[in-house]
Every structure is written in C-alpha cells, then in structure tokens.
Amino acid sequence: MAAAVDTAPGAHGQENISDDSLTWVDVTVGTQLIKVLNWDEIKQGIITLSGQRLWPAAKLLALLMHHNPDILEGAKNVLELGAGLGVVGIAAAKMAGHAKVMITDGEDSVVELCREHLRRNFEKDQPQCEKLFWGEGLEEFKQKHGTFDLILGSDVVEGEDSLPPFLSTVKELLNSSPTAMCLQTYVERPYLPSNLIAREAEACGLSYTYIEWENQPWAHQMVQTKDPSRWDRFSPLWAKIRIIAWMKPLSS
C-alpha cells in the first residue's frame, strides 16, 4: 500500500476544507485507489491533530483486510472507531460493497475531513460518517444504527486512559454473533504494555488474541526501505505494530 502526491490543495473536492496544510494523496490498497487529504509534513512539520495524517497502523489494517477477504465476507455492518482520514473504513466499503459501513471520530474537524473524503471516493452509496465520542451516547447510537459484526480501529489508543473507554465502546456496539470481532492495530509503546491489555480485557469482559502478520507474504508492503528492521519510516525501530482481535466470550 503506497501513497503518492496527487494534486495540490485547492483541487476538486477540497472546497469545504480551509486548512491548506493538507495535500491530496493517492493511497493504493490492492486494486483499490483511495484519495485523501493528508498532512503535508514537509511544509508544516510536526502535526498537531493526529486525525489529519495517514499512519502506518491504518495501512496495516487495510492490507490485512485486502489479503484476508474472509474478514469482510460475512460482515453486514462495519464500524470504524477513531477513523481519522477514514482510509480503513473507505477501504472496507470498497472491498465489501454489500456491507453497511459507518465511519466515526470524536473530533468535529476530523469528521468533516472524513466526509470530504467520502464525497471524493464515492459517487453514490457513500458510507455514513458521524461523530462518536467513546463511552458517551452509546445507547442512543445503538438505537439509531444497531450493533456491528466488525469493528475497526487503527492506532486509536493514545494513552493508558483511553483504552477502557475504547473497549467499553467496542463491547457495547459489537453484536453477539460468534464471528463478530473488533480488529485493532496499534504501535507497541511503553504506555501500552501487554499486561495492560490483559488487565483491561478482564475488566471489560472481552476476550482477545494477537494476529501474527510479520511473516505473511504481503508483510513486505509495510517496509518502505531496504532495511528489514524498519517497518515504516514513521515508526522508530523499537515501535512494533501489533494486530489484536477483540471478541465477546461465547457465553455472554
């Protein structure tokens, strides 16, 4: 999955976005081409809003779905949490045309940016996009949109305090089908140790398993240099991207 500059700010589709620090780029996932406005780090330097940039964990989750089509085959209702640019949700919608896809984020400006991407990438039958703050208004959201058999989240947990509301949201909105699951990619950082994952899983009543991806035939697509120790130029050498599948226990 590669990204390349498409057009400069001001191109068709950006008239509703006022921030000229964003640049249209093409993101390729298999045979799917996704156009998004991405933070121009060369011009602007350090990003101030994480939802304005394409992150490696989002690329990994999109690639996982592309190379494992069975993930989406049985999914009728798909939800992306903390969508940012919406690349993962857009990829899911393009790969599983039969599925109803809902894309959400907790930031108003990011939701508007994501809606612009939906207008750019779909002529009709766009996925829905709404604001959703984890742990708040979940019953109302569920009454309006129902529950989901696939929930997606890419690098959305930014600290120890954000994991419990993320998991409580997943538990509330994930349906009880035996095949229902939440796929989460994240970068293994000091504030997200494995014992924290285990502790919060027990506290919220979700089961989980790690998905090994490094030895998969397509894993090389995450490497942007000839050095195999680097998964992505944005990831420091000590930061490993993990994939975790969350599920409701069958007895729940």
The pLDDT assigned to 229 comes to 41
The pLDDT assigned to 188 comes to 80
Q: Which residues contact 195 (CB under 8 A, 6 or more apart)?
A: none
CA distance 148 to 104: 13
Q: Which residues of 147-171 are buried (b: 16+ CB within 10 A; e: fewer)?
A: ebbbbbbbbbbeeeebbbbbbbbbb
Q: Which residues contact 98 (CB under 8 A, 6 or more apart)?
A: 76
All domains of the chain in start order, with CATH? 53-247 (3.40.50.150)
Length of the chain equals 252
**Which stretches in the chain have pLDDT values below 70?**
1-20, 40-51, 223-239, 250-252
Burial category of 106 from C-beta neighbours within 10 Å (exposed 0-12, middle 13-18, buried 19 and up): middle
Sign of the C-alpha dihedral computed for residues 41, 91, 75 and 102 taken in this order: positive
Dihedral angle at the C-alpha atoms of 131, 181, 224, 212, nearest 10 degrees?
160
Measured from the Cβ of residue 199, the count of other Cβ atoms closer than 10 Å reads 13
Which ranges constitute the DSSP H helices of 96-137? Answer: 108-121
CA distance 141 to 128: 13
The pLDDT assigned to 211 comes to 95
For residue 95, the Cα-to-chain-centroid distance in whole angstroms is 15
CA distance 183 to 134: 16
Answer whether 129's CB lies under 8 Å from 104's CB: yes
CA distance 60 to 162: 21
Its pTM stands at: 0.85
The pLDDT assigned to 49 comes to 55
Give first-to-last CA distance, the chain, whole Å: 37
